[in-house]
Structure 1
Amino acid sequence: MLKGSQTLSSNYLIKQLPKATVFVNKRLQIVHASDSWITYFNFSNDTVFGKNISELFGEISKDWKTVLNDCLKGKPSDVGVERFLDTENDEKWFEWSNIPWYDENENIIGVIIQTDDVTEKVHNELKLEKLEVLLREKSDIAKIGSWEYDMLKDEITWSDMTKAIHEVPKDYIPTIEKGIDFYKQGYCRNTISMAVNKAIESGTAWNEKLQIITAKGNEKWVIAAGKPVFKNEKLIGLIGTFQDVNDQVLSEIKTKENEHLLKTLIDHLPLNVFIKDKESRKVLVNKAECDYLGVSGPEEVLGKTDYDFYDEETANITREDDLHVMNSKTPILGEERGSIKKNGDAITFLTSKIPLIGDDGTAYGLVGISMDITNLKQKEEELRDLINVTSLQNKKLVNFAHIVSHNLRSHTANFSMLLDFLIHEKSEEEKKNIIGMLIDASDNLLETLENLNEVVAISTNTNLEKKPINLNEKIKVVQQNLAAFLLNNNAKIVNSISDDVHIKAVPAYIESILMNFITNGVKYKDPERNPEINLSATSNNGYTILSIADNGMGIDLKKYGDKLFGMYKTFHDKKDSRGIGLYITKNQIEAMNGKVIACSEVGKGTTFNIYFNEKD
């Protein structure tokens, strides 16, 4: 404060004052001002001095006018806050303090005004006030209360909302023990007790959904949250929130009950049920659909499309169906569909797709209901195959009967003729020849009966068990058994089959099949070259295909193709050709649900492709 002898010797000192300061006379006109004051308000020297405060700041508040007038009368000053728009129209807030300005005779000649920039402080206070209002509104809407526990004073305070949730009066004085006693006895009370204790002992926060029993005896679900408060690394208390979520929890429970009822219903339907969104992503599936897709639960299906479970061609078809149903809003009902799963399984099902129509009249998804009829289709195929097999067997039986009748009649006629010769023959020497011929005829008859018996055994024995067989191991056994035969004929076997190739076959049959085809390839060799047998294996469409190719004489398939696997059919002039081997081999292959196809060219060789069924 300037009094008496204290006079301003120079305006220079005022200009350098670090705090924004201005001196006004009794008419509130600017006499002196610090540079910091001029800079703060973005004034200029030529527009400040001699001007009235009202000219610079506009209409000042009544409070400030009163304080200035009181200062001119020598009364003490209060601190006030004013709003100001600078030359760039930016809002500023400044805090002013005013003291009387005395001359050397202690006469009041004006007012000394000092200002501080409190713009940020005011803005923060406004934000805080808004935030507090917003929090109060949110607290009322969300039913969230707060609480605070002061460990030093051993006092706990509850907000009004916390008291309202507990249904206690506003003057209720809580304690830690009383607060814990509100929780439902058992799990809820034990959980909150341990949470509070753990927070005090180890500084752990908590957030639990529990039940309380209010002062009025009502059960409520609440979310109780809390955390420790530290000062200088020392625990001084706890703070937390308390939210009434009873309506939400009860609604969730009711919704879950309805969902459980619906899920139980659709899970026990003997149909695949699913719901898709507009992008054909599955948003609901029942147990039958999960089983059908080969997954353990819905979580492996939800959010995925048919592209994740089927081949691209099948997925494209189902996507087109989905789009047609949703765009046309026309359902597909009971249509038969076939597809291939990504694991290669072929499936057939009856499907229905019904559009889900929203309030705006557009489809937002669809409900799908399908039934896997693969087994039914398979049974149809099996029945059809059984009919075909029965028809084939009947033809074979008729053919076999003709063969038996023809062959046995030939043997009988031969025996009858030789016996007649023997009865009427007088020469002992000739009788011996006839007896020799009868012995040969008897041997031939026995061989024929053995061949016929083997064919019958193959056709009628349905109990032979197919086993997994390593193909190369069987080939090695046959090679060893034929070692001398192959050596005598300068024959070579070229085997390009991998050691890990396995087939499902009757062990006794596979050796016989390999033996027949390999020996035939050597037996009917081309006289111009040494025999060579090439073995290879591939897999295709459920079959392992064994190829046995020779470089022998070859067979004219146009001439003999329909008779190639017939009984007692021969196509070369070999003396030891009996025409039974290929017939028996074909029967063995077919008895194992396989098939054999021959490719041959005269003078180049023959290839037999033997199909071993990988499933049956």
Structure 2
Amino acid sequence: MKFLRRFHDIVSDQNLDFDEKIDQLLYFGLEVFKLDLAIISKVVENTYTVLHAITPDDSLVAGTQFDLTGTYCIHTLKANKALAFYHAGNSTIAEHPCYKNFQLESYIGAPIKVGDTIFGTVNFSSAKISSPFKEDTYDYIELFAQWLGNEFARSHAKKKLVLHSKTLKKLENMANIGTWEADLINSKIYWSEQTRRIHQASEDFSPTIEQAIEFYKEGHSRDCINQAVTAATEHGEKWHLELEVVTAKNNHIWVSSFGEAEFKNGQCIRLFGTFQNITESVELRQALTKKKLEAERMLEDRSMLLAKISHELRTPLNGITGMLTTLIDERSEEKRTDKIKIALRSADILLNTINEVLDFSKINHGEFKLEPNNFLLKTIFTDLASLYTPLFKDTDISFNVHNFIDDDCWVICDNTRLSQIVSNLLSNALKFTEQGHVMFSTSVTTHQAGLLLNITVSDTGRGMSDAFLQSLFAPFTQEVDAKNNKGGTGLGLAIVKELIDYMQGTIKVTSKPNKGSQFEVSLPIKIGKAEAIISTNRATIDGSNLKVLVVDDNQINRLVLHASLEKLKISADFAVDGEDAILKCQQKHYDLIFMDCVMPILDGFSATKQLREKNICPFKSTYIVALTANTSAQDKLASVEAGMDMFIAKPFKLPTIEKAVHSTQQRLKAMTV
């Protein structure tokens, strides 16, 4: 099948002239027969003249002549058919002059005929012993010879080559290539068996010219074949088209249609050609084209992401470095406080940007996972409302909150991601509203075996057009409306949509330009169990009685944690790597250990395993907290497997440290009861 397809592609390529086709056929033959030399010769009486040749060293040129009796081709011409041998030295022709002079072990050739007259030969040979030639290789070489003979004779050989060649008849089905002929004098169409099979027509089906045309799909394909037939019959132009056909069984397929015209006395008397089912290759090409477009779009998205991230990282970094630099010589306590607040706000913006990029990357790579936990639902929205209320204070926008969730509604959900969804919606509402109001409403209803959480965020801001809404949840959509862009990575709403999909919820958006927007989110949530609420009020936390060890190879990280622990009246010891931590724990008992996970010499996971396995720091008496910048699900799982009690991601905030200290105190208290 592959042979005949390749052969068809070469001989029907209208961009190649005759000599170029011969060169491609000879190279193709060398590949098929796995030999080294290829020759097309012309034989006149006893003179063998080389017309075309391919040799490893290009030593044989066109025009070179030999005595016919000194070539293997004399045996081919005597046999008057394809002839081959793969080990001449071990055969009856070992004494032949060609073997003695050139040591050619392998040979396959066939006579080229023009009509009934021998024109010459086409042959392939090699000095190496080859594998025995299979039956179909004789068909292949004869096919080469037949095509060459017909081309040399300048006769219209395609009908004879396909309809009357024994080789093509045998291989036609394998290659899925059929032939056809249109007799314009008698208005008849002749289809080969394979052509009927491709059209899924019955074996006795004999179409009219009009019926044959109607198989081509109406529209572009039918217009193209009609134009091609007109150009062929009027001007003698050949065609080679890829068109869509609707078969007799109403299946849509793609075909390669090749045709040309025959004229007599200036009148077109017939059309003929080949017909091949290429559906598989067209679909493959379309799939590759689609993948190429997807790859180009991903590359464009990546470039856009890098440009956006570069801008969005530099802006808060400028706020942090700028404010901290001016603090050095600032004497006014009020100004120092304001600058610190700006720096902290910039740090929060920077952290949000980094988190968005990480979330987007995880989602794209299929690494994103939800982490459900049990919590009091109303508190999430109460905290968010408290967080955003001050941001509306100095604006012309009122912030209206309606939290209709019961105070004792416990649920199981990823509260961090839930908070992220609402925070993104509120941030956008604030960002794109100049005046009027932003309304934030929450409620729950019963849903199957659980609850359905309903969240609405609406505003009276600039709104969005219908066209913009179509791509609202695609990454970087802020670029669409660059003149109104107020910053951000353009990933926020794309991540919101992905999070809602992960939670098996829905989001509905309605908006009108200059009239505002409304986002309605519905999320199914499992009912949780009520738990005792632990207060971690900073004023009540006193960790002065705790023995604490901080393990981190980075000095700045140690200084930051030292400053945070001082707020809780804790004076900690420090270790610079896992080995140092084990040594210190062997010398002194610690109630609480903050363990960095990625360190030289011995990392935090390995150090924790040793502390647990060797009973240096038992679970009941030492609380070990993973403190790391690596926040993947695999890292969290690794911390649990290593024997850590809690996981805190860098950069951390003081409440998370307070929680670790409080949990340690609770464990120690439980031991004394």
Larger radius of gyration, structure 1 or 2? Answer: 1
Q: Calculate the TM-score normalised by the size of structure 1.
A: 0.31
Q: Calculate the TM-score normalised by the size of structure 2.
A: 0.29
